[in-house]
Amino acid sequence: MSNGFLPISKEDMARDNISQLDFVYVTGDAYVDHPSFGHAIIARVLQSHGYSVGIIAQPDWKDKASINVLGEPRLGFLVSAGNMDSMVNHYSVSKKKRTTDAYSPGGVMGKRPDYATVVYCNLIRQTYKNKPIIIGGIEASLRRLAHYDYWSDKLKRSILLDSGADLISYGMGEKSIVEIADALNSGIEVKDITFIDGTVYKTRDKSIIYDAIELPHFEAIKKDKLEFAKSFYIQYCNTDPFSGKRLYETYDGKMFVVQNPPAKPLSQKEMDAVYALPYMRTYHPSYEAAGGIPAIEEVKFSLISNRGCFGGCSFCALTFHQGRIIQTRSHESILAEANKMIWEPDFKGYIHDVGGPTANFRAPACDKQLTKGACPNKQCLFPKPCKNLKVDHKDYLKLLRKLRELPNVKKVFIRSGIRFDYLMYDKDRTFLKELCEYHVSGQLKVAPEHISDAVLQKLGKPEVSVYNSFVKAYKGMNEKIGKNQFLVPYLMSSHPGSTLKEAIELAEYLRDLGYMPEQVQDFYPTPSTISTCMYYTGVDPRDMKPVYVSTNPHEKAMQRALIQYRNPKNYDLVVEALTKAGRTDLIGFDKKCLVRPRKMSGEKNGNYGEKKGKIVGKSGGKNAKNNSGKTGEKSGGKPIKKKTIRNVHKKK
């Protein structure tokens, strides 16, 4: 390998004595040889099994010659849009173009096309008509069957059909990609590779599909949204590697897309082996002149300790991608990686994260998941914790203690997020104590998402009472150990089930808390989530009951504005929302009001009683500014300091 990196040019191949590569991996991300990047893991896993792999990162999709820089691979092309769906990478929830791309050199936007997987495959097909193409990564994985596409606002076919690829390796892919490579290497034609778990294939021969559940055909789900909801829920109930069945969709009565059951989870030994591969742990040196790859900064000094999540949030696609069964690395594996990190020249003493999708999940939810899998129709934490749930932080605590004792380590952070409900179900408060004492620096980010139980039910999150008990426990623990630390809650607006009534309920909660979030996330309908299915169909696929969905951009803006009601830019939207919802009682001078009235008798210069910049009348006083609900004032015209992020949850 040239300089330890995988080949990116014919010159690299020549130096490595490779006349023809086994696989060429085309990716929408820049080449970063780090285990937080999917292309690095898959390429290194294949390499460890004796296959040569070259990387074409961010080819110019307008130039078909860009796909030929490494020549024709012996076995096939591997294609991924990158670590993110290319449309999420490119567009905000309001469908506005983002200005930067953390996965491109210098953070420059525009290095990959929209729907990158489809575009790259079509580019390959222009030159290599019959060469096998295997697609994977988050974009292909979550679009493996018919899906709602938010950006075009329509149902799309399986990405296997639109891309012209031969196979999808869905999920994390380490097991299936090796089986695919071995099958191709043994001389099996790609059209005959129909037997590998964790793959999706297409066929015109229905007779080869066996022991499978037929999903509503594509024409039916296009015509009837309720049929799509039924299809989605069948898929959702078959995401487990132990209980999941084979599924198939029919297109025009002639083409069949078949999803094999998910691949089995990695054992601890297998997962350790993946993270022990010879990654260079940084971006390719060819990007240095452009300023490097911004995405490496957050992960370079972070440690992945687990995979999968049994949290079951409705808006999260992890159930479809990594699955609900927790897979973990051993302490020895994690410490070995940490011992490499801490001696790097730019290590400043801070391990940025030790976690995964949920940091404090270090074991399967219950013993039966190891042999029978996760329950198809029940959640581990929602709406109440399952009686079989094992709540235990002891292993995670032991790991964190070992990491804290390493030389050169000043602080070990936990940034990938904890499940506060799981923490609260642990009667032993040792983890909470050490979390506050050693792993928080002033503030801890948590994700209640909302506080209305009606919305939380649709989110798949616990009742607000659980969050309130956590707030109390966190505050009490910090007081006990003599620390002044706060919580930063992530909140989501416009999730299915949230009307203006629930948005106002959240605003009132924040008012009583004395906190205005600096950032609010609008619900973003991404492929293969329950929430996206609700957004598109207007029903909850779990019970087929109607659910309110805010799709109007103006109403969504009102819901978002209510969460940030103190921001003067949001004044008109807040007043409009309160008026529309019949809650004008929240417009006034009482301490419970969200904003003050703007227009009343005696108005001058656009505000009640305002003259030459001073307020006269009921709320008068030389320190008051205006009546428009700006941050920096409260009822009675008395000034208050603008709440900063450190004031969150200081008072309850």
pLDDT in tens, 251-303: 999 999 999 999 999 999 999 999 999 999 999 999 999 999 999 998 999 99
> Is the Cα dihedral 123, 124, 128, 130 positive or negative?
negative
Closest CA to 259 of 181, 198, 342: 198
pLDDT in tens, 194-232: 999 999 999 999 999 999 999 999 999 999 999 999 999
How many angstroms separate the first and last alpha carbons of the chain?
Answer: 58
> 494 and 522 in contact (C-beta within 8 Å)?
yes
Residue 519: the pLDDT is 80
Name the least confident of 139-153, 292-306, 503-517, 631-645.
631-645
Predicted TM-score of the model (pTM): 0.90
DSSP sequence for 402-465: HHHTSTT--EE---S---HHHHHT-S--HHHHHHHHHS-SSEEEEEEE-S-HHHHHHHT---HH
Residue 639: the pLDDT is 34
Per-residue pLDDT averaged across 356-382, rounded? 93
Q: How confident is the model at residue 396 (pLDDT cuts 50, 70, 90)?
A: very high
Residue 601: the pLDDT is 43
Backbone angles phi, psi at 489, to 5 degrees: -85, 130
* 303 or 518, which is more confident: 303
**Sequence-separated (6 or more) residues with CB below 8 Å from residue 440:** 413, 414, 483, 485
Q: How confident is the model at residue 623 (pLDDT cuts 50, 70, 90)?
A: very low
Phi-psi domain of 493 (left: phi exceeds 0; alpha: psi -120 through 50; beta: other): beta
Helix, strand, coil proportions of the chain in percent (round to 5)?
35, 15, 50
What angle is formed at CA 394 by the lines to CA 392 and CA 400, rounded to 5 degrees? 130
Q: Taking all residues of the chain, what is their mean pLDDT, rounded to a whole number?
A: 91
> 536 and 232 in contact (C-beta within 8 Å)?
no
Q: How confident is the model at residue 340 (pLDDT cuts 50, 70, 90)?
A: very high
Residue 518: the pLDDT is 80
> 201 and 133 in contact (C-beta within 8 Å)?
no
What single-letter DSSP state applies at residue 59?
-
Q: How confident is the model at residue 599 (pLDDT cuts 50, 70, 90)?
A: low
User: CA-to-CA distance for 332 and 125, rounded, in angstroms?
Assistant: 45
Residue 520: the pLDDT is 87
pLDDT in tens, 422-467: 999 999 999 999 999 999 988 999 999 999 999 999 999 999 999 9
Per-residue pLDDT averaged across 500-509, rounded? 97
Residue whose entry in the numeric block shows the structure tokens 């999150």: 461
> 447 and 416 in contact (C-beta within 8 Å)?
no
Residue 621: the pLDDT is 35
User: CA-to-CA distance for 26 and 24, rounded, in angstroms?
Assistant: 6
pLDDT in tens, 474-485: 999 999 999 999
Residue 647: the pLDDT is 38
Closest CA to 168 of 194, 187, 148, 131: 194
Write down all domains in the chain, each with its CATH number in brackets.
2-201 (3.40.50.280), 301-438 (3.30.750.210)
pLDDT in tens, 67-105: 999 999 999 999 999 999 999 999 999 999 999 999 999
Write out the two tokens for 276.
């022990």
